[in-house]
Amino acid sequence: MSGPARLKPEELRSHQWYGTDGLRSFSHRARTRQLGYLPEEHLGKPVIAVLNTWSDINPCHQHLRERAEAVKRGVWQAGGFPLEFPVSTLSETYQKPTPMLYRNLLAMETEELLHSYPVDGAVLMGGCDKTTPALLMGAASADLPAVFVPAGPMLRGHWRGQTLGSGTDMWKYWDDKRAGLIGECELAELECGLARSPGHCMTMGTASTMTAVAEALGVTMPGASSIPAVDSGHSRMAAAAGRRIVELAWRGAALSRFLSPEAYEDAVTTALALGGSTNAVIHLIAMAGRSGIGLTLEDFDRIARRVPVLADIRPGGSYLMEDFHYAGGLPGLLARLGEEYLHLDRPTVARDSLREQLAGALVHDDTVIRPLSDPLCAEGGVAVLRGNLAPDGAVIKHVAADPGLLRHTGPAVVFDDYRTMQATINDPSLGITADSVLVLRGSGPLGGPGMPEYGMLPIPDHLLKEGVRDMVRLSDARMSGTSYGACVLHIAPESHAGGPLALVRNGDRVTLDVSARVLRLEVDDAELERRRAAWQRPPSRYGRGYGALYEQHITQADTGCDFGFLSRPGEVPEPYAG
């Protein structure tokens, strides 16, 4: 690879722990013998941290213990010294109130672990929604050489001859159950058919979006993001990542070499061309902030207006990640976007340039990865909205919504929190019709807490039975990338911070106009001021612990929901190894 010259062994960061003449180095070498290693196995070699988010309770990552062995095999083959570090697992399936509450905790753990141990480079292993941004945020702040190994999507689901997509079909068939179209027997069968193997969701949810973002940033092996978790190619990719990180460590090729403004712009382009998750907006803004790059909502909207959606993948399309991978995967899609949309001369961890990395990439199925002349949608899959209801912005995944609702005015039906909404959504006295605008507040970064995926509010049972499958829904929450519908999300500032969402009342008229990028409350300014004067900030939820730290330092959705003390500029001294 071009770039930095190869380091000498004594220039490796780990040399400060192992190679000096002092007492501390003597102690470190002795303790390494205690671990069972010979001097020739590690002295003078790059030490590679393998950060593994495997856990018994994370089905997306249940294969990562085996993949860590493949990574270590590659490191050994290339002459490095691998050490596996278990780090927090953020399981979208189980962790409450939401793993988003803990994304920054894993980012802190990643940064401090890489900073405080004798590490020359790292392989980051994750995939379930928040693990990808968390690992990359921490690694960007630590700024050592690093390669990301995506967990990979699970196999497609099956039920009675139907192909199932995890998440997306869960919502669909749950609504069918509520509408009386299927019963308990069918639901029991669906439980067994939705998720059939290790790996993250095989729709274009947050997991697939963010691992594709990692590949677009240039920090994975080529094609890594879409390899099915159980495909033997996934093990080969993991071993290749292990080999590659050793070369990057010898070159001292820090992550900042690859995480440039152009890389982040290409990552936004990729997420939009995939019809990816709205969660990518928050995560990419936070990730770019860790790289000292000011990515904004305006950047997303600017790029969205010119980038077409080429990937026909659920929930905005028809196919699943297996189909996408075998149709050419991300290299095929990026090759189609080409120089018109991407910065091809920037370096990646695998090649001297993205142009070189994409050379020879092909698309094998034009129905899955569309040509530029026949896109799934002429504009990117996410729109940024503003107005008196969202002065700092909101987002909508309009490619996954009923087109008839993208310009709509209707009366608000307001819920102050998710529990109240669950308990009352079917109350006939609310008078909810298909024209109503369902409004959920108290679900943002502070109110959730942690901004849970509540944004796909359920449609009342009586409307489902009438055949209604979409409504306009507004919240300061997020929603799963596998979700769909006319759901306006990430309204900022959130209601708990005194945003205008806190002032909406039942019956207020709300206007959504996606083409004009408008979200407006049809209430005059004087009335809003009267309501604001009467508003009181909700009390803090946490008296102590991590939750209290979170409340004190979390930023709003439009700036990435990072901690202010982690995202601000500033030097962190190298530890003295003694």
At how many degrees (to 10) do helices 206-217 and 261-273 cross? Answer: 140
Q: Is the pLDDT of residue 225 over 90?
A: yes
SS3 category, 58: coil
| Distance in angstroms (rounded) separating the CA atoms of residues 40 and 81 | 10
Tens digits of per-residue pLDDT, 247-281?
999 999 999 999 999 999 999 999 999 999 999 99
Tens digits of per-residue pLDDT, 523-555?
999 999 999 999 999 999 999 999 999 999 999
- CA 403 remoteness from chain centre: 26
Q: Is the pLDDT of residue 425 over 80?
A: yes
**pLDDT score recorded for residue 1:** 72
What are 396's strand-pairing partners?
Answer: 383, 488
Q: Is the pLDDT of residue 4 over 90?
A: no
> Mean pLDDT in the chain?
97
Q: Is the pLDDT of residue 27 over 90?
A: yes
Q: Is the pLDDT of residue 379 over 90?
A: yes
Closest C-alpha among 19, 22, 254, 218 to residue 115: 254
**pLDDT score recorded for residue 30:** 98
Q: Is the pLDDT of residue 180 over 90?
A: yes
Tens digits of per-residue pLDDT, 227-244?
999 999 999 999 999 999
Mean pLDDT of 143-160: 98
Using CA atoms, how far residue 417 sits from 441, 478, 533, in Å, is 6, 14, 21
**pLDDT score recorded for residue 3:** 76
What's the pLDDT band for 328 if we cut at 50, 70, 90? very high
**pLDDT score recorded for residue 270:** 98
pLDDT-above-90 percentage for the chain:
99
Q: What are phi and psi of 123, to 5 degrees?
A: -110, 125
Contacts of 429 (CB under 8 A, 6+ apart): none
Tens digits of per-residue pLDDT, 487-515?
999 999 999 999 999 999 999 999 999 99
Helices (H), ranges, 21-77: 23-34, 39-42, 64-77
Answer yes or no: are the C-beta atoms of 376 and 314 closer than 8 Å.
no
Largest CA distance in the chain: 79
DSSP string, 163-187: EE-TTHHHHHHHHHHHTTSS-HHHH
Tens digits of per-residue pLDDT, 94-128?
999 999 999 999 999 999 999 999 999 999 999 99
**pLDDT score recorded for residue 578:** 84
Helices (H), ranges, 260-328: 261-273, 279-290, 297-304, 321-326
Mean pLDDT of 179-204: 96
SS3 category, 489: strand
**pLDDT score recorded for residue 511:** 98
Structure tokens at 72: 């270590």
**pLDDT score recorded for residue 292:** 97
| Distance in angstroms (rounded) separating the CA atoms of residues 279 and 284 | 9
Using CA atoms, how far residue 207 sits from 150, 211, 219, 311, 451, in Å, is 9, 6, 16, 15, 17
**pLDDT score recorded for residue 2:** 76
Contacts of 502 (CB under 8 A, 6+ apart): 441, 495, 496, 535
Closest C-alpha among 170, 422, 132, 175 to residue 277: 132
